[in-house]
A and B are shown apart, each in its own frame.
Chain A
Amino acid sequence: MKKIMYQEIVDRVASMCQEANYNLGEDVFEAFQQALRTEESPVGKDVLQQLVDNAKVAKTEHVPMCQDTGTAVFIVEIGQDCHIVGGSLSAAINEGVRKGYGEGYLRNSVVGDPLNRKNTGDNTPAVIHLEMVEGDEITIHMTAKGGGAENMSDMKMLKPSDGLVGIKDYILDIVKDAGPNACPPLVVGVGIGGNFERCAFLAKKSLFRPIGERNPDPTIADLEIELMEEINRLGIGPQGLGGSTTALDVKIEAEACHIATLPVAVNLNCHASRHQVAIL
């Protein structure tokens, strides 16, 4: 059985946290360039140019692109034929977050208790989702998820009779209500189906897919494109100052659900769509 050392996970996670916050992904950078070519509003263009310049400074100077360096969220696929030596997986991930955020001068943005709201001082605990898969590898997907866009996210149990029209109306309402607050241009993550908690997870999971990569199901892929066009007709624009670039992409994940239900979740991501992958 393949052995994976605790410390190896710690070090990889630490470097993922810093990379995610310093280096805007090529997919987002390319989406900014594309938006600069198509944006109709001069103010919107200025905002997009500022974001491009900001990403360059962050990358060159190794500083966070945004002061909200996020909650560290992980989806980990664990091969059932591997063995972690030296400690638990969740302890290794949390130690990696502690190290990455501490040594990388990233902001600690987690309170240990939602009511007394005292900062834990090391950005832990991370949010960790585990999935068992075949094989002997561990694939770690990480995102640094900001609070502003998370706050404008939403979930609703629709009725099956609401259908596709109901789903689209609901998603457009959420994006419209978020306006400038979620830091557009957005990546809109959508979960459809599953059950109450699974649907929210699907919306989050969709955000790990790079910009421009469509859902493999052609029907869902068409819906992603259609929704993106409709969202960009809302006029919200970069930073909500008006314009034709409100979403850089729409991502949808769909799954089986109960005969009585139609859960839909919308997880908004600001333009700082920061995701990393490591395979151990």
Chain B
Amino acid sequence: MPKSIKLPLDEKTVSSLRAGDQVRISGTVYTARDAAHMRMAETLDKGLELPFDINGQVIYYVGPTPAKPGQVIGSAGPTTSSRMDAYTPKLLELGLKGMIGKGYRNDQVKQAIQDNHAVYFAAVGGSAALIAKTIKSVEVIAYEDLGIEAIRKMEVEDFPAIVINDMHGGDYYQEGVNIYRKTNI
């Protein structure tokens, strides 16, 4: 049975999550991918404030397709998280509590997840039409000129994901593959 979790994430919830837990996420998430992360990093380098209060929040790595008439949002599955690795430890230090994406994180991000008590979830890549149905509202809140890469505030309900990296050092990509590997390569 998947665990239902509410955002923003509190310390108790983050601490209870373990690599491999299937979850259904409800609440507010912020979208950001390559270009938005680059701009957030530049903003911080200049000593300026981020365009939203990141403390306790979750970022979803996604660049949705345009909404058709009548849709809240177009298809909206996760993009590869590792492209955001260079920017992530700094955001975690500033209070970011969770990330939703797909694929490996580097060692610095995994360490920062432990140090700052955060969590990394994966959603199913390519399941974008189904995932879009769990997104109930969308509003562009910053960097509108970046188009599909703008920062959006989304309300999600029962968004399906799985815990990959937990604050206790668990890594489900390693654990899952170890169970089914039948070769020494």
Chain A residues within CB distance 8 Å of chain B:
40-41, 43-44, 46-47, 50-51, 53-54, 57-58, 61, 63-69, 105-109, 117, 119, 121, 147-148, 151, 169, 172-173, 176, 179-181, 183, 230, 233-237, 239-244, 270-272
Bound together, the chains give a CA A181 to CA B102 distance in angstroms of 7
B25 CB → nearest A CB, Å: 15
Q: Which B residues from 154 to 169 make CB contacts under 8 A with A? A: 160, 162
Known contacts: A107-B65, A180-B103. The answer to whether A65 contacts B173 by CB under 8 A is no
Residue pairs across A and B with Cβ atoms less than 8 A apart, 22 shown, are: A51-B126, A57-B133, A65-B75, A65-B129, A66-B75, A107-B64, A108-B147, A119-B149, A173-B185, A179-B177, A180-B173, A181-B80, A181-B103, A230-B185, A235-B176, A239-B125, A240-B103, A240-B176, A242-B179, A244-B180, A270-B125, A272-B126
What number of B residues sit within 8 Å (CB to CB) of A? 48
When distances are taken between beta carbons in the complex, the residues of chain A under 8 Å from B133 are 57
Q: Which of A176, A237, A270 has a CB less than 8 Å from the CB of B180?
A: A237
Q: Are B125 and A242 in contact (CB under 8 A)?
A: no
Interface residue stretch chosen among B10-18, B49-57, B66-74, B87-95: B66-74
Known contacts: A69-B65, A234-B185, A239-B122. The answer to whether A50 contacts B127 by CB under 8 A is yes
When distances are taken between beta carbons in the complex, the residues of chain A under 8 Å from B129 are 54, 57-58, 61, 63-65
Q: Which B residues from 133 to 185 make CB contacts under 8 A with A? A: 133, 147-149, 160, 162, 172-173, 175-183, 185
Q: Which of A54, A57, A69, A237 has a CB less than 8 Å from the CB of B176?
A: A237
Q: Which of A65, A121, A181, A233 has a CB less than 8 Å from the CB of B126?
A: A65
Q: Are B104 and A53 in contact (CB under 8 A)?
A: no
When distances are taken between beta carbons in the complex, the residues of chain A under 8 Å from B128 are 54, 64-67
Residue among A61, A121, A148, A151 with the highest chain B CB neighbour number at 10 A: A148
Residue of B nearest to A40 (CB): B180
When distances are taken between beta carbons in the complex, the residues of chain A under 8 Å from B179 are 41, 235, 242
Bound together, the chains give a CA A192 to CA B126 distance in angstroms of 29
A113 CB → nearest B CB, Å: 14
Q: Are B130 and A57 in contact (CB under 8 A)?
A: yes
